[in-house]
Amino acid sequence: MGTGSSKQTDGTSEETKDRTDDDDDQAGGQLYVSLKMENLKLTTHLVPHVYGSVPLVGSWDSSKALSMERESVSMWELSFVVPPNHETLDFKFLLKPKDSDTPCFVEEGPSRLLIGGALGEDARVALFKLDSGEVLEYQVFVKADRVSPFDLAASWRAYQDNFRPSAVRWMPDVSINSAPQTGGENGASAGLELDLEHYVVPAPSTSANSGQVYAANMTENPRSLISGSGGSSYSNKGMEVIVPDPSKVFQSSGMAESKSVGTFSPLHRQDSQRGLFVDRGVGSPRLVKSSSSNIFSSDLNLGTGTKNSMPAAAGAVAAAAVADQMLGLKEDRHLAIVLVGLPARGKTFTAAKLTRYLRWLGHDTKHFNVGKYRRLKHGANQAADFFRADNPEGMEARNEVAALAFEDMLSWMHEGGQVGIFDATNSNKRRRNMLMKLAEGKCKIIFLETICNDRNIIERNIRLKIQQSPDYAEEPDFEAGLEDFKNRLANYEKVYEPVGEGSYIKMIDKVSGHGGQIQVNNISGYLPGRIVFFLVNTHLTPRPILLTRHGESQDNVRGRIGGDTAISEKGEIYSKKLANFVRKRLKSERAASIWTSTLQRTILTASPIVGFPKIQWRALDEINAGVCDGMTYEEIKKNMPEEYESRKKDKLRYRYPRGESYLDVIQRLEPVIIELERQRAPVVVISHQAVLRALYAYFADRPLKEVPHIEMPLHTIIEIQMGVTGVVEKRYKLMD
C-alpha cells in the first residue's frame, strides 16, 4: 500500500487496483468443509442432522448422527476438518424431532459423495417425505477450503502428521499441543447437570447484548435534529454549525461551504500553538513538539476529561499515530470512513465491528447512521417510492439528512473526535462528490464499499432487515414489508455506481465468511493500514467464543498478584466442571480449540479437557506486575505507597515498575483479537483477570476507562456469540 495511484501489492502495475485475497493457497493443508441447509418455510420442530461414513460419523446408525447448528432463522450449518487420509466422504442428511431421536426422516435419493472437497454431483436439494405425506425441501450448500497452518492448529485434527508450527502475525510465542491427550475426563465426580441452562446467570446490564438490538439504533444520536433547532442548525459547546443547502452542494461552479460563527473553545486554536500528547502509560504526561510548533503546552490533563485528538493508546500504537499526525496534512488528522453499498449488504454490521475495534485500540471513534437521521426527520414509514432516483422530493430529503449527519460528524471531529464512520448507501458519484466537498480541508475520506454476490445471503439479510428495522416496525404484514423493501432495493440498483474515485477499500463477498476479496486504492498511513488489516481478517460467520478465568490458584487463596502457582483444590474441581461443560456445549464442534496462556494455572485448568487441541499464547499471560509480582495489595500499600496511590488514581494507564499497564496489555492482545475474528469455529479462552477484562471490553464495546473495573469472576464462563446480528452474551456460573 502506498500513496498515489493504485498498484499491485507485489509491485506490478498491470492493473489499477490492489487485490488482497485472504485465502492463501494451502495445497498442503487439510480440508475444512462446511455443510449448510436452508428452508425458508421454517420447520422449527425438526433439526437437520448428518450421518454417514468414516470419518464424519463412522456409522450409518441414525442415532449417532451429528446435529447441525442453527446459523440463522432459516439456515443450519455443520463444519468439520477432514484428515488427509480420509478425503472421501459418503453421507446423507436426516431430520430429527427437537426433543427426541424418533421418528427421524432420511432424505430421499442416493447418498452424497464428497471427494477431496468436491461433490460427485451438483449440490441437489434435500427432499424429506414426512409421515403426513408432506414433502420438505431444503437447499444444500457445500463449501470446502484448504485450511491455513494456524487454522490447522486450531482444529481438533491439528495434531496429525507433519504439523508445522504457527507463524501467525510473526508470533513465535504461540505453541500447540501436538499430541492428543488420552484417558478419561477424570472429572465425572465433579458433576455437571446435563441442562446447561441450570448454570446461566444474569449478565451485567452494560454487557455485550447488541445482537438483540437493531445495529443502526446503537449509532450516534442525531444532535442536529434533537436540539430543537428544526434540523437546520444547532449549537454545541460555543460553536454554531450552519448546515448547507443540499441543492447548492451539487452546483458545479463552487460549493456552499458551511460556516462557523460565535466563539471556539481553546482546543480549536491553531495546531501550531500546541504540542502533541503522547501517552506511554507511565508517570506524568509527556509532550512532544510538533514539527510546525515553536511553543510547548502542558495544560493537557487526561484526568479532567479534556478532549484531544490523540488516541489513549500505548507504545508503538501511540508512536505511529503521532507520526501520522505530525507528518500528514491537517485534514489527515481526522478520518471519515464512508460506507458505500446497496441495502442488505452488511454495511451497518461491518461499520459496528470496525467502530468497536478502533475504540478498543484507543482511537476516539463514532458511528453515524444516516437512516437514523432520516427516520427522525421524515418518519420511519416511508414507502419504496421515497427512495426512487426520479423522486425529487425524496432525493432532496435524503441529501438533506446526509448533509446533516456529515456536519454532525465534522463538528464532533472539531471537538476532538478522530475517526467517524459514516453509514449510508452513498450509492452514486453525485452523493459521494457532495461528501468530498463537505470534507475538504476538514477530514480525510476513505470509502468502504461492501459488495455481496450471493443471492441467498442477500435474501437472508433482507428478511432480517424486515424483522429488525424500525422502518417496518409498524408493518404487521411481513410479506408486505418484504415486497416494499425489495422495491426499495430495486430503486437503488437502478442508479448504483461502484466506487472508483479517491481512496477506497472494497470488500467483495466477505460477508459470507468463506474467503472473499479485499481491494484497496490509494491507502497509506498507520491507521488506514490497521483498518485494512482488520477488514481482511474479519467475517460474520456465527460462532461462540467462551471466556473464562483459570480455576482458583494458590496465589488467589493467599491474595497475591502475579506469580505462576498451581491451582488450588477448588480450582481443580472447577477444571473438571469446565471440561464437562466444554464437552457438552461443543459436542458437535469438530474444529473448536482451547487457548490458554503460558502460565501453569491456565494450563492445569485446561488439562482435563480432551478431544480439542490446546494452543498456548504468551499474549494471554496475566498483566506483568513487575517488582510487585507476588505481593499483596496491602504489602504494596505499606511498602510502596506512591505506587499504590498512582495505580488507584488511574488503573488504565498505571504501569507497574518494570511491568505493564492495562494499555500495554491491550496492545499485546491485538494479535489475539485478530485471530478470534478470523476463526470460524468456537474458541475457549482460559486466561487471567486483566487479560479477560481487555478481551471482554472489545466484544462488549466498553470504554477503555472502564476496562480495569470490569467484573470478571472466578469459575464463571462468559459465552460471546458472534454472528450476523452482532454480539450476544450469556454467562454460566459453574461454582459459587
Q: What digits encode the pLDDT tens for the residues 561-609?
A: 999 999 999 999 999 999 999 999 998 887 899 999 999 999 999 999 9
Hey, is 93 helix, strand or coil?
A: strand
More confident residue, 330 or 715: 715
Spatial strand order in the sheet of 31-38: 69-70, 75-82, 31-38, 135-146, 126-129
Q: What is the pLDDT of residue 57?
A: 61
More confident residue, 573 or 542: 573
Write out the residue limits of the CATH 3.40.50.1240 domain(s) in the chain. Answer: 544-733
Cell of 540: 460474520
Catalytic-residue membership of 688: no
Top CATH class of 544-733 equals: alpha beta
Q: What is the pLDDT of residue 614?
A: 93
Least confident of 25-34, 213-222, 616-625: 25-34
pTM attached to this predicted model:
0.65
Contact 313, 667 (CB under 8 A): yes
| pLDDT for residue 243 is more than 70 | no
| pLDDT for residue 10 is more than 60 | no
b/e for 627-654, b at 16 or more Cβ within 10 A? ebbebeeeebeeebeebbebbeeeebbb
Contact 735, 576 (CB under 8 A): no
| pLDDT for residue 21 is more than 60 | no
Contact 503, 444 (CB under 8 A): yes
Catalytic residue among 49, 363, 367, 550: 550
| pLDDT for residue 640 is more than 90 | yes
Catalytic residue among 484, 572, 622, 643: 622
More confident residue, 204 or 529: 529
* Fold (CATH) for 30-153: Immunoglobulin-like (2.60.40)
Contact 172, 610 (CB under 8 A): no
Least Cα distance to 499 among 589, 576, 577, 428 occurs for 428
d(CA 97, CA 104): 7
Least confident of 161-175, 341-355, 399-413, 604-618: 161-175
More confident residue, 192 or 217: 217
| pLDDT for residue 202 is more than 70 | yes
Catalytic-residue membership of 550: yes
Q: What is the pLDDT of residue 173?
A: 45
Contact 297, 275 (CB under 8 A): yes
Catalytic-residue membership of 367: no
Contact 80, 33 (CB under 8 A): yes
Contact 613, 590 (CB under 8 A): no
Q: What is the pLDDT of residue 333?
A: 78
Beta bridge mates, 141: 36
CA 17 to chain centre: 26
Q: What is the pLDDT of residue 417?
A: 92
Task: Please classify residue 699 by burial: count the beta carbons closer than 10 Å to its beta carbon, then call 0-12 exposed, 13-18 middle and 19+ buried.
Answer: buried
Q: What is the pLDDT of residue 227?
A: 55
- Amino acid (one-letter) located at 510: K
Mean pLDDT of 148-173: 40
Cell of 405: 449527519
Write out the residue limits of the CATH 2.60.40.10 domain(s) in the chain. Answer: 30-153
For 639-735, list the strands marked E by DSSP: 683-687, 716-723, 726-733
Least Cα distance to 547 among 673, 634, 441 occurs for 673
More confident residue, 165 or 223: 223
d(CA 578, CA 190): 10
Write out the residue limits of the CATH 3.40.50.300 domain(s) in the chain. Answer: 330-537
Confidence at 219, pLDDT banded by 50, 70, 90: confident
| pLDDT for residue 25 is more than 70 | no
Catalytic-residue membership of 423: yes
Contact 491, 389 (CB under 8 A): yes
CA angle 408, 409, 414 (to 5 degrees): 95
d(CA 9, CA 21): 11
More confident residue, 132 or 604: 604
Q: Does domain 330-537 have CATH number 3.40.50.300?
A: yes
Catalytic residue among 452, 552, 572, 677: 452
Catalytic residue among 423, 471, 572, 660: 423
